[in-house]
Structure 1
């Protein structure tokens, strides 16, 4: 199961930099005691959360969600509660919602899927049919290795991009993309992490659905992926096929989207192609929703942006 080590509520509210250096509050607990403490904390934290199903207008994007009874939807505010207070991530207002298996608490679910939207403009799919994904993987692996020095300076674990857990696949009819990366972090004790990404292309931008799960949940995520990817639909007038000459364009194609979500030149400039989940030391886990959070952070930090 996808579990995250319990952190006391008081510690979760500390300033981020200080919390990283604070003593581990659960060092003397047994694994069973840690699990019980985390479960109790999660139950209290989420007691007022109400999940949604059916047709939902996604706030912050020109998208409608069609959520089946087999999937639970958490809105933006509830998702921030999960990501920040339950999972210990820094604040991130780019998250528009999350999806979980129906009836599963975010504290114990095998997977969760984070929804974000980037109004980057129209992404051309002309390169999708002829992209060499083996060569692309090698470029992403090299970029990940180069990026490790930055991660070390910022106090994060370093990452190894082992390979594709699921090779990228683009459906030209629905303009949906899915792929999964196999990652190992320096603080994971050799455990592999699954970074399963999905994108839906629209007229003015890209909707991202990013799974959070351990590698052991790959088959469960793979099984759920088609149903999850079918949930979002761009509204009429905002669909990929609604594009008209003169509309804003992103300046990159499907390969660059898979590699890092920004134009290749911009990504190379900041050296962060291929960054996925970041695991912090001392049991902290941070998810920065790939297309939203990490790209927003890059722009704020380096002044970068998409090319057009």
Structure 2
């Protein structure tokens, strides 16, 4: 059975439970069968450790201790076929080594992508007022919510920084986190961003999870930040002003989404990592509880 077929089957069951009392539904699925399905999905993926080449000699990922890496092809399957995201280019994903791709033990995963949008000048890094920048992003989100409501999409509010931006001048690495409240969701969403600056663009390492996972993400974030680096010839220090293009924005624009005026903040957010993935993954844990009751009950 294909992974997409399994996903559709499980979501059909979940929908049935959401529409009626569980005592009125006869589903021939015991816990062993459910677990077999979940194990079949999770065991179908092959993870790697060690040093992983990214792109065509573009960069290298040194899989940090406590993590496992899923290559680009398999990650694309997870993001699109299993989690229901639109197709997009990805270099792979990092998962904590003790969690499954789907299941009630899922906490978070980190997608790795590359954006070749030019050399980002960092002259403004020390001058940014991050409180003011947050206010600007919040105001933009409020304006965009008007259009989202008209189109029938749930609104989304940027609550604030979950972790204030920090830029390391020596390593040319930037990271920050936002707390986002989506309409209809009980738990606020954590959007954790890491950017590694290079000669012609930057690596994106993005994690999205629930806000209660922030301490867990922060426990491991230093190892994740240090795990990715550009190869010689593609590093920030290799920039050649006579050959290379300079991006139209700096550090502040990178944090703000840089294309707010063109596509809106949340469109930019979804470009990097689709929020729907969190909801789809959560379904499996909720489904299990609805069918069998709380674990270890």
Structure 1 and Structure 2 fold alike (TM over 0.5): yes
User: Aligned pairs, how many?
Assistant: 263
What displacement does 1:110 show?
A: 1.6
Output the CA distance in 2 between the equivalents of 1:123 and 1:97.
24
Corresponding residue to 1:78 among 74, 78, 87? 74
CA deviation profile, 1:43-73 (whole Å, cap 9, x unmatched): 2223221110111111367111111342100
Output the CA distance in 1 between the equivalents of 2:8 and 2:57.
33
Query: Residues 153-232 of structure 1 correspond to what in structure 2 (within 5 A)?
Result: 153-189=150-186, 191-232=187-228
Output the CA distance in 1 between the equivalents of 2:122 and 2:172.
8
What displacement does 1:275 show?
A: 5.0
Corresponding residue to 2:269 among 248, 269, 276? 276
CA deviation profile, 1:212-240 (whole Å, cap 9, x unmatched): 21101100101111101111110001000
1:111 aligns to what SS in structure 2?
Answer: coil
TM-score w.r.t. structure 1 length? Answer: 0.76
Corresponding residue to 1:129 among 126, 130, 148? 126
Q: Structure 1 residues 251, 38: closer, same or farther in 2, change over 3 A?
A: farther
Does residue 66 of the first structure (1) align with residue 59 of the second (2)?
A: no
What displacement does 1:86 show?
A: 2.6
Determine which structure has the larger strand proportion and give its number.
1
Does residue 100 of the first structure (1) align with residue 95 of the second (2)?
A: yes
What displacement does 1:151 show?
A: 3.0
Q: Which residue in 2 is equivalent to 1:138? A: 135
Residue pair 1:203, 1:239 contacting (<8 A) in 2 also: yes
Output the CA distance in 2 between the equivalents of 1:224 and 1:188.
26
Query: Structure 2: 5+ residue runs without aligned partners?
Result: 283-297
Determine which structure has the larger helix proportion and give its number.
2
TM-score w.r.t. structure 2 length? Answer: 0.79
Output the CA distance in 2 between the equivalents of 1:255 and 1:149.
25
What displacement does 1:106 show?
A: 2.0
Does residue 111 of the first structure (1) align with residue 108 of the second (2)?
A: yes
2:125 aligns to what SS in structure 1?
Answer: coil
What displacement does 1:152 show?
A: 3.4
Q: Structure 1 residues 43, 124: closer, same or farther in 2, change over 3 A?
A: same
Of structures 1 and 2, the larger Rg is shown by 2
The alignment's C-alpha RMSD in Å is: 3.1
1:248 aligns to what SS in structure 2?
Answer: coil
What displacement does 1:85 show?
A: 2.7
Query: Structure 1: 5+ residue runs without aligned partners?
Result: 1-6, 287-308
Output the CA distance in 2 between the equivalents of 1:256 and 1:38.
46
1:48 aligns to what SS in structure 2?
Answer: coil
